[in-house]
Amino acid sequence: MMASVACIGECMVELRQAQGGASAGQGGGLYSRGFGGDTLNTAVYLARLDVKVDYLTALGDDALSDEMVAAWNAEGVGTRRVVRLAGKLPGLYMIQTDGKGERQFFHWRDSAAARQLMSLPETDELLNSLMSYDVVYLSAITLSIYDAAGRERLFGAIKRARLLGTRFVFDTNFRARGWPDRDIAREVFATAFAAADIVLTSTEDLLALHPGESHDQLMARIPTPELVFRLPEPVSLLRYPGGASEVRAEPMTQPVVDTTAAGDSFAAAYIAARLAGAGPVEAAQAGHRLASLVICYPGAIIPGYAMPPKKRHRPAAPRQASK
Protein backbone atom coordinates (compact mmCIF):
# COMPACT_ATOMS: atom_id res chain seq x y z
CA MET A 1 0.00 0.00 0.00
CA MET A 2 1.27 3.47 -0.90
CA ALA A 3 2.34 5.59 2.08
CA SER A 4 0.02 8.51 2.77
CA VAL A 5 0.42 11.98 4.25
CA ALA A 6 -2.10 14.39 5.76
CA CYS A 7 -1.02 18.03 5.39
CA ILE A 8 -2.96 20.41 7.65
CA GLY A 9 -3.02 24.15 7.12
CA GLU A 10 -4.38 27.14 5.26
CA CYS A 11 -4.21 28.27 1.67
CA MET A 12 -4.97 31.92 0.94
CA VAL A 13 -5.70 34.04 -2.08
CA GLU A 14 -2.50 35.80 -3.11
CA LEU A 15 -2.35 39.21 -4.79
CA ARG A 16 1.10 39.76 -6.23
CA GLN A 17 2.30 42.98 -7.84
CA ALA A 18 2.31 42.41 -11.58
CA GLN A 19 5.11 43.35 -13.94
CA GLY A 20 4.98 47.09 -14.52
CA GLY A 21 2.73 47.76 -11.51
CA ALA A 22 3.28 50.78 -9.31
CA SER A 23 5.98 50.50 -6.68
CA ALA A 24 5.10 50.40 -3.00
CA GLY A 25 3.89 53.70 -1.64
CA GLN A 26 2.76 55.11 -4.99
CA GLY A 27 -0.72 53.59 -4.93
CA GLY A 28 -2.59 51.85 -7.70
CA GLY A 29 -0.78 49.35 -9.85
CA LEU A 30 -1.71 45.99 -11.31
CA TYR A 31 -1.83 42.76 -9.31
CA SER A 32 -2.03 39.17 -10.42
CA ARG A 33 -4.08 36.69 -8.41
CA GLY A 34 -2.91 33.29 -7.27
CA PHE A 35 -3.03 31.03 -4.23
CA GLY A 36 -0.45 30.39 -1.54
CA GLY A 37 0.16 28.53 1.68
CA ASP A 38 3.19 26.82 3.20
CA THR A 39 1.68 23.39 3.90
CA LEU A 40 -0.23 23.50 0.60
CA ASN A 41 3.07 24.04 -1.23
CA THR A 42 4.48 20.99 0.57
CA ALA A 43 1.40 18.96 -0.35
CA VAL A 44 1.78 19.83 -4.05
CA TYR A 45 5.43 18.83 -4.09
CA LEU A 46 4.64 15.60 -2.22
CA ALA A 47 2.05 14.74 -4.88
CA ARG A 48 4.58 15.46 -7.62
CA LEU A 49 6.98 13.10 -5.86
CA ASP A 50 4.36 10.32 -6.07
CA VAL A 51 3.29 10.47 -2.43
CA LYS A 52 -0.41 10.00 -1.70
CA VAL A 53 -1.35 13.22 0.09
CA ASP A 54 -4.56 14.83 1.33
CA TYR A 55 -4.90 18.49 2.27
CA LEU A 56 -6.93 19.15 5.42
CA THR A 57 -8.39 22.64 5.66
CA ALA A 58 -11.61 24.62 5.52
CA LEU A 59 -12.73 26.80 2.62
CA GLY A 60 -15.82 28.79 1.76
CA ASP A 61 -18.53 28.00 -0.78
CA ASP A 62 -17.37 30.77 -3.11
CA ALA A 63 -15.85 30.69 -6.59
CA LEU A 64 -12.32 31.30 -5.31
CA SER A 65 -12.57 28.26 -3.05
CA ASP A 66 -13.88 26.25 -6.01
CA GLU A 67 -10.80 27.30 -8.00
CA MET A 68 -8.49 26.21 -5.18
CA VAL A 69 -10.04 22.75 -4.94
CA ALA A 70 -9.90 22.29 -8.71
CA ALA A 71 -6.23 23.35 -8.80
CA TRP A 72 -5.30 20.97 -5.97
CA ASN A 73 -7.10 18.09 -7.65
CA ALA A 74 -5.26 18.85 -10.88
CA GLU A 75 -1.96 18.53 -8.99
CA GLY A 76 -2.98 15.18 -7.51
CA VAL A 77 -3.57 16.54 -4.00
CA GLY A 78 -6.52 14.84 -2.31
CA THR A 79 -9.38 17.15 -1.29
CA ARG A 80 -11.74 14.72 0.44
CA ARG A 81 -10.81 16.27 3.82
CA VAL A 82 -11.51 19.85 2.74
CA VAL A 83 -14.51 21.20 4.69
CA ARG A 84 -16.64 23.74 2.81
CA LEU A 85 -18.37 26.39 4.94
CA ALA A 86 -21.42 28.27 3.68
CA GLY A 87 -20.98 32.02 3.54
CA LYS A 88 -17.26 31.94 4.39
CA LEU A 89 -14.23 32.94 2.31
CA PRO A 90 -10.55 32.00 2.23
CA GLY A 91 -8.02 34.45 3.66
CA LEU A 92 -6.19 36.91 1.45
CA TYR A 93 -2.72 38.40 1.41
CA MET A 94 -1.04 40.96 -0.80
CA ILE A 95 2.63 41.27 -1.70
CA GLN A 96 4.06 44.69 -2.51
CA THR A 97 7.58 45.05 -3.87
CA ASP A 98 9.66 48.21 -3.71
CA GLY A 99 12.18 49.46 -6.25
CA LYS A 100 14.93 47.32 -4.69
CA GLY A 101 12.89 44.13 -4.87
CA GLU A 102 12.17 44.02 -1.13
CA ARG A 103 8.80 42.46 -0.38
CA GLN A 104 6.16 43.52 2.14
CA PHE A 105 3.15 41.39 3.06
CA PHE A 106 -0.35 42.48 4.06
CA HIS A 107 -2.89 39.95 5.37
CA TRP A 108 -6.69 39.78 5.64
CA ARG A 109 -7.44 36.45 7.30
CA ASP A 110 -9.07 36.99 10.72
CA SER A 111 -12.42 35.60 9.52
CA ALA A 112 -11.04 33.06 7.03
CA ALA A 113 -12.75 29.68 6.88
CA ALA A 114 -9.58 27.76 7.74
CA ARG A 115 -9.41 29.32 11.20
CA GLN A 116 -12.58 27.43 12.19
CA LEU A 117 -11.31 23.96 11.27
CA MET A 118 -10.86 22.84 14.90
CA SER A 119 -14.34 23.96 16.01
CA LEU A 120 -16.75 22.52 13.45
CA PRO A 121 -19.34 19.72 13.54
CA GLU A 122 -17.02 17.86 11.13
CA THR A 123 -13.92 18.32 13.31
CA ASP A 124 -14.15 15.03 15.24
CA GLU A 125 -14.41 12.99 12.04
CA LEU A 126 -11.55 14.93 10.50
CA LEU A 127 -9.28 14.42 13.51
CA ASN A 128 -10.16 10.73 13.81
CA SER A 129 -9.07 10.30 10.19
CA LEU A 130 -5.48 11.17 11.14
CA MET A 131 -5.05 7.62 12.40
CA SER A 132 -5.36 6.35 8.82
CA TYR A 133 -2.27 8.22 7.57
CA ASP A 134 1.38 7.25 7.74
CA VAL A 135 2.43 10.85 8.37
CA VAL A 136 0.70 13.98 9.67
CA TYR A 137 2.51 17.16 8.59
CA LEU A 138 1.84 20.68 9.76
CA SER A 139 3.72 23.88 10.44
CA ALA A 140 3.81 26.55 13.12
CA ILE A 141 1.76 28.70 10.76
CA THR A 142 -0.94 26.03 10.92
CA LEU A 143 -0.92 26.10 14.71
CA SER A 144 -1.03 29.92 14.78
CA ILE A 145 -4.45 30.09 13.09
CA TYR A 146 -6.20 28.06 15.82
CA ASP A 147 -7.01 29.16 19.36
CA ALA A 148 -5.65 27.36 22.43
CA ALA A 149 -8.60 24.96 22.59
CA GLY A 150 -8.24 24.12 18.91
CA ARG A 151 -4.53 23.41 19.27
CA GLU A 152 -5.19 21.18 22.27
CA ARG A 153 -7.79 19.26 20.29
CA LEU A 154 -5.39 18.82 17.38
CA PHE A 155 -2.48 17.69 19.55
CA GLY A 156 -4.75 15.18 21.30
CA ALA A 157 -5.72 13.66 17.95
CA ILE A 158 -2.09 13.50 16.83
CA LYS A 159 -1.08 11.72 20.02
CA ARG A 160 -3.85 9.14 19.50
CA ALA A 161 -2.79 8.62 15.89
CA ARG A 162 0.83 8.09 16.94
CA LEU A 163 -0.25 5.21 19.17
CA LEU A 164 -1.28 3.41 15.96
CA GLY A 165 1.97 4.16 14.15
CA THR A 166 1.30 7.49 12.47
CA ARG A 167 4.37 9.74 12.48
CA PHE A 168 4.06 13.46 13.23
CA VAL A 169 6.33 15.84 11.30
CA PHE A 170 6.46 19.42 12.56
CA ASP A 171 7.91 22.28 10.53
CA THR A 172 8.75 25.36 12.60
CA ASN A 173 7.90 27.86 9.87
CA PHE A 174 7.58 30.86 12.23
CA ARG A 175 5.84 34.12 11.36
CA ALA A 176 5.67 36.54 14.28
CA ARG A 177 2.59 38.31 12.92
CA GLY A 178 0.54 35.15 13.46
CA TRP A 179 1.09 34.98 17.22
CA PRO A 180 -0.26 37.22 20.03
CA ASP A 181 3.22 37.20 21.58
CA ARG A 182 6.40 35.16 21.51
CA ASP A 183 5.78 33.55 24.91
CA ILE A 184 2.69 31.80 23.56
CA ALA A 185 4.62 30.75 20.47
CA ARG A 186 7.41 29.29 22.61
CA GLU A 187 4.90 27.28 24.66
CA VAL A 188 3.18 25.90 21.56
CA PHE A 189 6.52 25.05 19.94
CA ALA A 190 7.57 23.13 23.07
CA THR A 191 4.33 21.11 22.96
CA ALA A 192 4.84 20.33 19.27
CA PHE A 193 8.48 19.34 19.83
CA ALA A 194 7.47 16.93 22.59
CA ALA A 195 4.86 15.27 20.35
CA ALA A 196 6.83 15.13 17.08
CA ASP A 197 8.70 12.22 15.52
CA ILE A 198 10.53 14.51 13.08
CA VAL A 199 11.16 18.25 13.40
CA LEU A 200 12.22 20.37 10.43
CA THR A 201 13.57 23.71 11.62
CA SER A 202 16.05 26.49 10.90
CA THR A 203 18.18 29.07 12.62
CA GLU A 204 15.89 31.76 11.18
CA ASP A 205 12.85 30.30 12.95
CA LEU A 206 14.42 29.45 16.29
CA LEU A 207 16.57 32.54 16.72
CA ALA A 208 13.42 34.63 16.38
CA LEU A 209 12.15 32.90 19.53
CA HIS A 210 15.46 32.41 21.34
CA PRO A 211 17.79 35.27 20.29
CA GLY A 212 21.49 34.85 20.80
CA GLU A 213 21.52 31.11 21.40
CA SER A 214 24.07 28.85 19.70
CA HIS A 215 23.21 26.04 17.30
CA ASP A 216 23.79 23.49 20.05
CA GLN A 217 21.55 25.36 22.47
CA LEU A 218 18.76 25.65 19.92
CA MET A 219 18.97 21.98 18.96
CA ALA A 220 18.97 20.96 22.64
CA ARG A 221 15.52 22.51 22.98
CA ILE A 222 14.09 19.88 20.62
CA PRO A 223 13.83 16.38 22.18
CA THR A 224 12.45 14.72 19.04
CA PRO A 225 14.44 11.65 17.89
CA GLU A 226 14.87 12.99 14.34
CA LEU A 227 15.85 16.60 13.73
CA VAL A 228 16.76 18.56 10.61
CA PHE A 229 18.29 21.94 11.46
CA ARG A 230 18.86 24.20 8.44
CA LEU A 231 21.54 26.86 8.69
CA PRO A 232 21.59 30.25 6.88
CA GLU A 233 23.97 28.76 4.32
CA PRO A 234 22.67 25.72 2.37
CA VAL A 235 23.69 23.27 5.09
CA SER A 236 21.62 21.02 7.34
CA LEU A 237 22.65 19.58 10.68
CA LEU A 238 20.97 16.23 11.31
CA ARG A 239 20.34 14.36 14.52
CA TYR A 240 18.77 10.91 14.43
CA PRO A 241 18.85 7.65 16.42
CA GLY A 242 22.38 6.34 16.27
CA GLY A 243 24.09 9.34 14.77
CA ALA A 244 24.45 12.94 13.64
CA SER A 245 25.54 14.36 10.28
CA GLU A 246 26.10 17.55 8.35
CA VAL A 247 24.64 17.68 4.85
CA ARG A 248 25.69 20.40 2.40
CA ALA A 249 23.75 21.34 -0.69
CA GLU A 250 25.51 21.00 -4.02
CA PRO A 251 26.83 24.31 -5.42
CA MET A 252 24.26 26.33 -7.36
CA THR A 253 24.71 26.35 -11.13
CA GLN A 254 21.78 28.71 -11.88
CA PRO A 255 20.95 32.17 -10.48
CA VAL A 256 18.55 32.42 -7.55
CA VAL A 257 15.29 34.01 -8.70
CA ASP A 258 12.86 33.61 -5.78
CA THR A 259 13.39 31.87 -2.43
CA THR A 260 9.65 31.37 -1.88
CA ALA A 261 8.82 27.77 -0.85
CA ALA A 262 12.45 26.71 -0.42
CA GLY A 263 11.64 25.27 3.00
CA ASP A 264 8.27 23.89 1.87
CA SER A 265 9.84 21.97 -1.02
CA PHE A 266 12.70 20.77 1.19
CA ALA A 267 10.12 19.34 3.58
CA ALA A 268 8.29 17.55 0.78
CA ALA A 269 11.42 15.94 -0.63
CA TYR A 270 12.64 14.94 2.84
CA ILE A 271 9.32 13.33 3.80
CA ALA A 272 8.97 11.60 0.42
CA ALA A 273 12.46 10.13 0.67
CA ARG A 274 11.94 8.94 4.24
CA LEU A 275 8.65 7.29 3.29
CA ALA A 276 10.40 5.60 0.38
CA GLY A 277 12.98 4.04 2.71
CA ALA A 278 15.85 6.53 2.53
CA GLY A 279 17.83 7.38 5.65
CA PRO A 280 17.96 10.92 7.08
CA VAL A 281 21.17 11.88 5.23
CA GLU A 282 19.87 10.76 1.84
CA ALA A 283 16.53 12.46 2.58
CA ALA A 284 18.25 15.74 3.45
CA GLN A 285 20.24 15.55 0.22
CA ALA A 286 16.96 15.14 -1.67
CA GLY A 287 15.53 18.11 0.22
CA HIS A 288 18.45 20.34 -0.70
CA ARG A 289 18.28 19.24 -4.36
CA LEU A 290 14.62 20.14 -4.74
CA ALA A 291 14.90 23.40 -2.78
CA SER A 292 17.91 24.45 -4.88
CA LEU A 293 15.83 23.91 -8.00
CA VAL A 294 12.70 25.65 -6.71
CA ILE A 295 14.52 28.90 -5.91
CA CYS A 296 15.60 29.19 -9.55
CA TYR A 297 11.99 29.87 -10.60
CA PRO A 298 9.54 32.63 -9.64
CA GLY A 299 6.73 31.74 -7.25
CA ALA A 300 6.19 28.87 -4.85
CA ILE A 301 5.31 26.14 -7.35
CA ILE A 302 7.67 25.55 -10.26
CA PRO A 303 6.46 24.25 -13.64
CA GLY A 304 5.87 20.52 -13.71
CA TYR A 305 8.44 20.01 -16.45
CA ALA A 306 11.11 21.51 -14.20
CA MET A 307 10.76 18.86 -11.51
CA PRO A 308 13.86 16.69 -11.04
CA PRO A 309 13.85 13.09 -12.30
CA LYS A 310 12.44 10.70 -9.73
CA LYS A 311 14.91 8.62 -7.77
CA ARG A 312 14.12 5.12 -6.58
CA HIS A 313 14.70 4.27 -2.93
CA ARG A 314 14.54 0.95 -1.14
CA PRO A 315 11.07 0.01 0.15
CA ALA A 316 9.97 1.73 3.35
CA ALA A 317 9.58 -0.24 6.55
CA PRO A 318 5.95 -0.91 7.54
CA ARG A 319 4.47 1.46 10.10
CA GLN A 320 4.49 0.27 13.68
CA ALA A 321 2.33 1.35 16.56
CA SER A 322 3.97 3.19 19.45
CA LYS A 323 4.54 1.14 22.51
Number of structural domains found in the chain: 1
For residues 58 and 83, the answer to whether their CB atoms sit within 8 Å is yes
Q: Return the H-helix or E-strand segment holding 74.
A: helix 63-74
Expressed as residue numbers, the domain containing 284 is 4-11+37-87+111-305
Question: Could you say which of 134, 171, 205, 264 is catalytic?
Answer: 264
Residue 102 in this model has a pLDDT that exceeds 60 = no
What per-residue confidence (pLDDT) applies to 100? 47
Structural domain includes residue 161: yes
**Concatenated DSSP letters of 257-316:** ---TTHHHHHHHHHHHHHHTT--HHHHHHHHHHHHHHHTTSSSSS--GGGSPPP---PPP
Greater model confidence, 312 or 298: 298
Residue 36 in this model has a pLDDT that exceeds 90 = no
Structural domain includes residue 92: no
Q: What does the mean pLDDT of the chain come to?
A: 89
* Length reported for the chain: 323
Residue 52 in this model has a pLDDT that exceeds 80 = yes
Taking only the tens place, the pLDDT of each residue in 190-226 is 999 999 999 999 999 999 999 999 999 999 999 999 9
Q: What is the CATH number of the domain that holds 125?
A: 3.40.1190.20
Residue 260 in this model has a pLDDT that exceeds 80 = no
Average pLDDT over residues 300-322: 69
What 3-state class would DSSP assign to 124?
helix
Structural domain includes residue 276: yes
Greater model confidence, 85 or 93: 85
Structural domain includes residue 29: no
Structural domain includes residue 97: no
Which among 310, 289, 281, 282 is positioned nearest to 234, based on CA atoms?
289
CA–CA dist 213, 219 (Å, integer): 10
For residues 274 and 313, the answer to whether their CB atoms sit within 8 Å is no
Taking only the tens place, the pLDDT of each residue in 225-234 is 999 999 998 8
Structural domain includes residue 45: yes
In this structure, of 11-15, 161-165, 219-223, 269-273, the range with the lowest mean pLDDT score is 11-15
Structural domain includes residue 133: yes
Structural domain includes residue 266: yes
Dmax (CA) for the chain in angstroms is 61
CA–CA dist 54, 5 (Å, integer): 6
Classify residue 262 by burial, with Cβ atoms within 10 Å: 0-12, 13-18, 19+.
buried
Question: Would you call 98 a catalytic residue per the annotation?
Answer: no
What per-residue confidence (pLDDT) applies to 299? 78
